[in-house]
Structure 1
Amino acid sequence: MISRAHSRARRFAALGAIAATAALVLSGCSGGLAGDGGGASSDGPIKLGMLAPFSGSEAAFGDYMKYGAQLAIDEINADGGVDGRDLELVTEDDGCDATAAVAAANKLVSAGVHGSVGGYCSGATLPTLPVFKEAGISMVIPAANSTALVGQGAFLINGTGIQQGAAAVAYAEKLGAQTVVLIDDNTDYSVDLANSFEEQAGELNLAKRESVNPDEKDFAANINSVLSANPDFIYWTGYYQAGGLLIDQLRAAGYDGVVLVGDGSVDAQLAAIAGPAIDNVFGTFTRTPDMLEGGDAWVAAYKELAGADPGPYSMQTYEAVKAIAAAIDDADSTDAEKVDAALLGLKAFPLLSGDLTFAKDGSREGGGFVIVSPTGDNGAFILSDDLA
């Protein structure tokens, strides 16, 4: 008889089911999972809700995340589901807006989801925490990583802002930066990341902090303020739409130093917006499939499903599904209390990005941030420095 631990590792390992994706098992067998919370049914499919931006300036990430989650679901269903029950993805658009996110979260609760595997913008994710908690729904967040999310009962696949800030500081130190300027876009995520960098800056000469309005197109006043500090290293912690314009305008104003961007700007669209100004730009990000052993097979499976290349957070959302499915299987229940306990019990759980263990506060141990650069095809970010 195969042990549950062995079965779990076989069933949910990141690459174990890729070959089976083309032969999906879509039968809707009722299963034996007990203790469903939130009024959700204890038979039929296990519904996983996903909030992501499908509209607004960050809309590209919605499809990246959706197809990443669906690939994991297809693999798990092809391998028999969870205790004989298929997984089903239910998506809602949060537009990276706090008010819209709360309304969308309530829609997912009404739809009877058993778990949540969404969350891109931290500012939109934060207000949904009490909605899901009150409904008895476990949350595994693939992208949003504000430190404000830590210790709130959710589990983070992405490294935290503190871990990302530490990687940015390490890179500035490694380059021997003499004068550093921080620029945020006034969003929760961006300010949190800038704060994390500042708190860990140590001996670095942090000469100035600047905040921009991301809805503006002309950052001349901000740029004049920034350049008055004569920096050789700028860390932009906002999103790519404003980031691309800001970088272009910084270069036009004569700045030729390093620009490091946070993970909210790590997207090929940054290069599309910035144009030739993208030279000497780098980013803090967790590893992407092209950087990993076995990543090519995963990318091929994703492209077959989505008809396009994966983007930032495709893999993290895939892994969020793998983690919560394993926890539901281990708990033999979709009850949030039992699933959360099982998530904490995942020790060195095998994923494409590396073994996963959650700390008691729900953060991912290690973080895994590296330095990437937009030097791949069409401005895609690829590994530049592993900070080893």
Structure 2
Amino acid sequence: MQFGSRRRKRVLHIAAAAGVLALTAGCSSGLAGGGSEAADDGPIKIGMLAPFSGSESAFGAYMENGAQLAVNEINADGGVLGRDLELLVEDDACDATTAVSGANKLVTDGIVASVGGYCSGATLPTLPIFDEAGIPMVIPAANSNELVDQGLPGVFLINGTGDQQAEAAVTYAKQIGATNVAVVDDATSYSADLAAAFTEQATAAGLDVVVSETITPGENDYSAVATTLAAQKPALVYWTGYYQEGGLIARQSQDAGFDGVFLVADGSVDAKFAEIAGEGYTDNVVGTFTQTPDMIEGADQWIADYEELAGDPPGPYSTQAYDAVRVMAQAIEDAGDTEFDNVVAGLEGLSDFDTFAGPLTFTDTHTLSGGGFVIVAIDPTTGAFVLEDDLQG
């Protein structure tokens, strides 16, 4: 899929967009919305949608602090095009309706680029809002293939895609000799998309998918799926939803008699998973994830800087949010202005740009050439996920 450049209207049809988008699902923000009509002085406003309420609220703080750290460093070094960056943040609660409202608020507030997006289901309905406003997006966390499938020229992902994460899960399953596997999703865009990718790739790799279940998020009793897993006895189950339900399913499945590997996707990789599952229920839990700062050699100073800003250690997606700001800032600097087409060209023109995930060059579909997923496991002392296997051999 190639993305062509095209001129953008500068009149924002916000009300019309909101009416249509409330029926779908999404989130994200952008740095080139004002174009030639934006002020030539004053701060360059970039927006971030992230969950600051709801079950995924912990990630919002990680993302905001990581992004703000990048903004502070860039401003201390002279800013972008001689102007300071200003980060504007809105809560999307990982909810489509809330995300649409937040996206419209950011557009009204004059952002010219977006560096947000955690839940794919909340990010999807915001794509047309930012596209209509001429605002390019560098999405740090949300990674459903559906985001890419929209084919919008201003959408870039710096987290590995669902296909890439599924590939890591299948690689791990084969590595441990799990010939029969199961997959459980929660019907959200991110989770269902990842489950489908895993099923397809597992089948192609010769694995037998003996269980494929979809649960309803927000409930407390998942005994039905737990009983199924115990009865079918897959060597590995891949849970592709979030930690709130994942912790419960891990506990209830083990109580029902499931004794295989409980592999979780990146939406469940948080210390709260162990808290919800309970002591003694995480020995068999591992996850597919991109590396966090504590897993990266040489990140000690960055961690110290983050802690000085936030007052707490960095968590998942803090580094991706940090890099999203840096990537967008470099593209604007290279563009020489905040015009949509020029910033998109700047993003497409980045070559081996230094990020926590390694040198970044976007593919033709505006994704990473490699997902960078590793296997993490739970430290029984802290409940935090730590590096287990880098899948390099």
- What's the TM-score once normalised by structure 1's chain length? 0.89
Task: Measure how far apart 1:39 and its partner are.
Answer: 5.1
Partner residue, 2:268 = 265
CA displacement 1:121-178 (0-9 Å, x = unmatched): 0000001001001101110000000001113331001000000000000000000003
1:118-133 equivalences under 5 Å are 118-133=116-131
Q: State how far apart, in whole Å, the 2-side matches of 1:266 and 1:117 are.
A: 21
Q: Give the residue type in structure 2 aligned to 1:157.
A: I
For 2:311, give the aligned amino acid. Answer: G
C-alpha distance 208-104 of structure 1, shift in aligned 2 (>3 A): same
Q: Which residue of 2 aligns with 1:327?
A: 331
Which position in structure 2 is the counterpart of 1:144?
Answer: 142
Please say if residues 229 and 258 of structure 2, whose CA atoms lie closer than 8 Å, have aligned partners that are also in contact: no
Identity of aligned residues (%): 60
2:189 corresponds in structure 1 to 188
Which residue pairs with 2:361 in the alignment? 357
More divergent stretch after superposition (117-126 vs 213-222): 213-222
- 1:38/1:135 contact within 8 Å kept: no
Distance 1:255 1:248, change over 3 A: same
The gaps in structure 1 that reach 5 residues or longer are 1-32
**1:177 counterpart = 2:178:** yes
Residue deviations 1:188-239 (CA, integer Å, cap 9, x gap): 1000000110111120111110111111101111212222212121100000
Q: Which residue of 2 aligns with 1:60?
A: 58
**1:281 counterpart = 2:285:** yes
Instruction: Measure, in 2, the Cα distance between the counterparts of 1:115 and 1:140.
Output: 8
- Alpha-carbon distance change, 186 to 34 in structure 1, aligned in 2, over 3 angstroms: closer
Provide the C-alpha distance between the structure 1 equivalents of 2:117 and 2:369, rounded to a whole number of angstroms: 19
Secondary structure, counterpart of 1:51 in structure 2: strand
Distance, in Å, in 2 between the alignment partners of 1:66 and 1:40 is: 24
Cα RMSD of the aligned pairs, angstroms, is 1.5
Q: Secondary structure at the match of 1:370?
A: strand
- SS of equivalent residue, structure 1 residue 115: coil
Please give the per-residue CA displacement for 1:337-386, whole angstroms capped at 9, x wherever unaligned: 11111101111001232111111111111111111111176211111001
Contact 1:38 1:114 in 2 (8 A): no
Q: Report the residue type matching 2:281 in the other structure.
A: A
Partner of 2:156: 155
Q: Secondary structure at the match of 1:238?
A: coil
What is the CA–CA distance in structure 1 between the aligned matches of 2:32 and 2:289, rounded to whole Å? 38
* Residue of structure 2 aligned with 1:307, choices 305, 311, 333: 311
Q: Mean alpha-carbon deviation: is it higher for 299-308 or for 370-379? A: 370-379
- Whichever residue aligns with residue 175 of structure 1, its letter is I
* Maintained 8 Å contact 1:35/1:333: no
Q: Is it true that 1:337 corresponds to 2:341 in the alignment?
A: yes
| Amino acid aligned to 1:192 | D
Change (3 A) 1:340 1:359: same
Gaps of at least 5 residues in structure 2 are: 1-30
1:89 corresponds to 2:92: no
Q: Deviations over 1:217-270 (max 9, x none)?
A: 011112122222121211000000011111111111121210100000011110
Distance 1:158 1:35 in 2: 23
Please say if residues 36 and 333 of structure 1, whose CA atoms lie closer than 8 Å, have aligned partners that are also in contact. no
